[in-house]
């Protein structure tokens, strides 16, 4: 059995096997006798030493092996302390060989661009080409990826815009549709012909009696949901044509005076909701679809609800200790992330039965580092382990759920509250806040 070259002044050793799924950095299937206090840095040196010895006969002076930085996982969790401490904390037997997986260490997100708006940036969602934002200046804006000012403005709301979402992504379509919601108690369905300098309001969705703070578009884009401070959730059609049962065209026909016609042209014809989901007792703060039939909502009433929209009723309910402010769902891992006023991010598996869910056994882990309320969370679109969070503490943190005690990176760019995040593109993260700035970060999210 080979003995590692790591200096050791301890009597205790741990037998370990180093494995990786990355063929480029795979080493021979060999066990190592490691000193108990071995650290991540020392393990990295060991892997590099073995890799270098393995390729020394195949390289020349101009192509010497370059040392790499690695992270190490034991039982699916990142190693952040000496190995013997971790093994003791987790109750792992040292009588068996400990398998240690190593992966390439990721580089921190790199700031790439800064966009500035006239007021707080409350919501953001991007495509490959464009960025959609909502602001407290009451506008909906579309930006090119490299533009310093919005290229398109939407004027229709009379109070701050709280949420925005693309209905269809404009990458391959000439016509795009998008949703915005506002403190003016409405949501607007907009149409944008790619290449034109304005967006057209098609329908003003009315039915809520208080601020509409969140929007989520159905996975098949046939409907969207809104959540409001009136504690209700409403479902709306995304169809660009009037619905037969809502008498939408009558608004315009009845608008005999010029001012009313202008108002309809600015905000769109009134559309009524398809249905209402009632059950929360306080403001609905965030929505996300779990499937084509299941919608998840979180609320200031300390609850998470999962709704069956076909039945129009609640399927699951969880009561927490504090206000829930944000949620997002990963279709890669089937896990739900929530952010709360207690400064914790919690990772849930919402697929269990109600009685199991209510006991809290479906909490997979807590991510703890923020010092302010968690305002937004977004999963990576391609990496099942990673997500990003924003907080009233002015910071953005990037997490890997295999390292729940410590974020991978702190991203300190904002000078005020972080209000929104987007991670729609694999390698780009956006954050917007009360400092009126939208930041773009480049990040390589390797699995």
Does one domain contain both 72 and 180? Answer: no
Using a 10 angstrom Cβ sphere, with 0-12 exposed, 13-18 middle and 19 or more buried, the burial of residue 307 is buried
Instruction: Answer yes or no: do 40 and 183 share one domain.
Output: no
Both 329 and 429 in one domain: the answer is yes
Encoding tokens for residue 338? 């929530």
DSSP states along 105-154: PPPPPEEEEEEE-SS-EEEEEE-SSEEEEEETTSEEEEEETT-SS-SEEE
Q: Is residue 256 part of a domain?
A: yes
**Residue 78 sits in which domain range?**
13-104
pLDDT classification of 1: cutoffs 50, 70, 90: very low
Q: Domain tally for the chain?
A: 2
- The answer to whether residue 425 scores a pLDDT higher than 80 is yes
**Site of tokens 């003003």:** 204
Q: Copy the structure tokens of residue 10.
A: 């301890």
E runs forming strands in 313-385: 313-319, 324-330, 335-340, 344-348, 363-368, 374-379
pLDDT for residue 190: 96
Q: What is the pLDDT of residues 263-273, one digit of tens each?
A: 556 778 999 99
Q: With CA atoms as reference, report the closest residue to 312 among 353, 354, 277.
A: 277
Which pLDDT score, from 0 to 100, does residue 9 have?
A: 43
Claim to verify: residue 91 and residue 129 sit in the same structural domain? no
What share of the chain has pLDDT > 90, as a percent? 71
Other C-beta atoms lying within 10 Å of the C-beta of residue 374: 27
Do 187 and 117 belong to one domain? yes
Q: Residue 380: which H helix or E strand, with range?
A: none
CATH number at residue 383: 2.130.10.10
CA separation for the pair 92, 95 (Å, rounded): 9
Could you tell me how many residues make up the chain? Answer: 447
For residue 1, is it within any domain? no
Q: Compute the average pLDDT of residues 152-158.
A: 92
Q: Look up residue 276 and give its two tokens.
A: 């209402």
DSSP tag of 76: T
Q: Are residues 87 and 182 in the same domain?
A: no
| Per-chain mean pLDDT for the chain | 88
Please indicate, yes or no, whether residues 310 and 365 belong to a single structural domain of this protein. yes
Nearest-angstrom CA–CA distance, 212 and 162: 7
Dump pLDDT digits (tens) for 376-421: 999 999 999 999 999 999 999 999 999 888 999 999 999 999 999 9
Q: Write the CA distances from 391 to 163, 330, 386, 396, integer angstroms.
A: 17, 20, 17, 7
Q: Cα(293)–Cα(283) distance, rounded to whole angstroms?
A: 22
Among 61, 89, 104, the domain-final residue is 104
Q: Give the pLDDT band (50/70/90) at residue 142.
A: very high
In the structure, what pLDDT confidence band is assigned to residue 249 with cuts at 50, 70 and 90?
very low
pLDDT bucket at 170, cuts 50 / 70 / 90: low
Which pLDDT score is estimated for 202? 95
d(CA 365, CA 374): 16
At 368, the pLDDT band (50, 70, 90 cuts) reads: very high
> What pLDDT does residue 63 have?
62
Q: Which carries the bigger pLDDT value, residue 261 or residue 274?
A: 274
CATH number of the domain to which 67 belongs:
3.10.20.90
More confident residue, 351 or 434: 434
pLDDT digits (tens, 9 = 90+) for 321-335: 899 999 999 999 999
pLDDT of residue 195: 81
Query: From CA 148, how far away is CA 287, in angstroms rounded?
Result: 30
Q: What is the pLDDT of residues 210-243, one digit of tens each?
A: 999 999 999 999 999 999 999 999 999 999 988 6
Give the whole-angstrom CA distance, residue 250 versus residue 31.
Answer: 77
DSSP letter at 251 equals: H
């Amino acid at each position: 059995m080979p003995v590692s070259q790591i200096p050791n002044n301890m009597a205790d050793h741990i037998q370990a096997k180093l494995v990786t799924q990355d063929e480029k950095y795979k080493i021979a299937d060999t066990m190592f006798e490691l000193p108990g206090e071995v650290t991540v840095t020392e393990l990295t040196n060991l892997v590099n030493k073995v890799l270098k010895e393995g390729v020394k006969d195949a390289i020349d002076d101009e192509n010497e092996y370059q040392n790499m930085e690695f992270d190490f996982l034991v039982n699916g969790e990142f190693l952040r302390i000496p190995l013997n401490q971790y093994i003791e904390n987790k109750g792992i037997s040292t009588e068996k060989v400990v398998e240690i997986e190593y992966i390439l260490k990721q580089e921190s997100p790199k700031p790439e661009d800064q966009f500035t708006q006239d007021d707080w940036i409350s919501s953001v969602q991007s495509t490959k080409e464009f960025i959609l934002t909502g602001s407290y200046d009451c506008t909906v804006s579309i930006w090119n990826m490299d533009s310093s000012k919005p290229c398109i403005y939407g004027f229709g709301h009379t109070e701050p815009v709280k949420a925005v979402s693309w209905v269809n992504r404009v990458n391959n379509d000439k016509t795009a549709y998008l949703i915005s919601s506002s403190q003016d108690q409405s949501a607007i369905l907009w149409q944008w012909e790619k290449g034109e300098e304005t967006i057209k309001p098609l329908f003003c969705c009315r039915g809520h009696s208080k601020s509409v703070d969140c929007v989520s578009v159905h996975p098949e884009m046939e409907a969207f949901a809104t959540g409001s401070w009136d504690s209700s959730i409403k479902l709306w059609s995304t169809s660009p044509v009037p619905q037969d049962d809502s008498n939408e065209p009558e608004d315009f026909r009845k608008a005999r005076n010029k001012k009313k016609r202008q108002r309809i042209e600015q905000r769109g014809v009134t559309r009524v909701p398809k249905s209402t989901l009632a059950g929360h007792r306080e403001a609905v703060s965030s929505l996300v679809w779990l499937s084509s039939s299941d919608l998840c909502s979180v609320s200031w009433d300390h609850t998470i609800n999962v709704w069956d929209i076909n039945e129009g009723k609640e399927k699951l309910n969880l009561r927490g200790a504090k206000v829930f402010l944000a949620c997002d769902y990963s279709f890669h891992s089937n896990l739900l992330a929530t952010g709360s006023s207690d400064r914790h991010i919690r990772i849930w598996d919402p697929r269990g039965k109600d009685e199991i869910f209510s006991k809290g056994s479906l909490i997979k882990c807590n991510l703890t580092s923020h010092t302010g309320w968690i305002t937004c969370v977004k999963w990576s679109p391609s990496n099942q382990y990673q997500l990003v969070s924003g907080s009233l503490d002015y910071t953005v943190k990037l997490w890997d759920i295999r390292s729940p005690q410590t974020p991978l990176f702190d991203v300190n760019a904002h000078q005020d509250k972080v209000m929104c995040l987007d991670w729609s593109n694999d390698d780009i993260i956006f954050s917007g806040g009360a400092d009126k700035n939208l930041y773009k970060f480049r990040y390589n999210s390797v699995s």
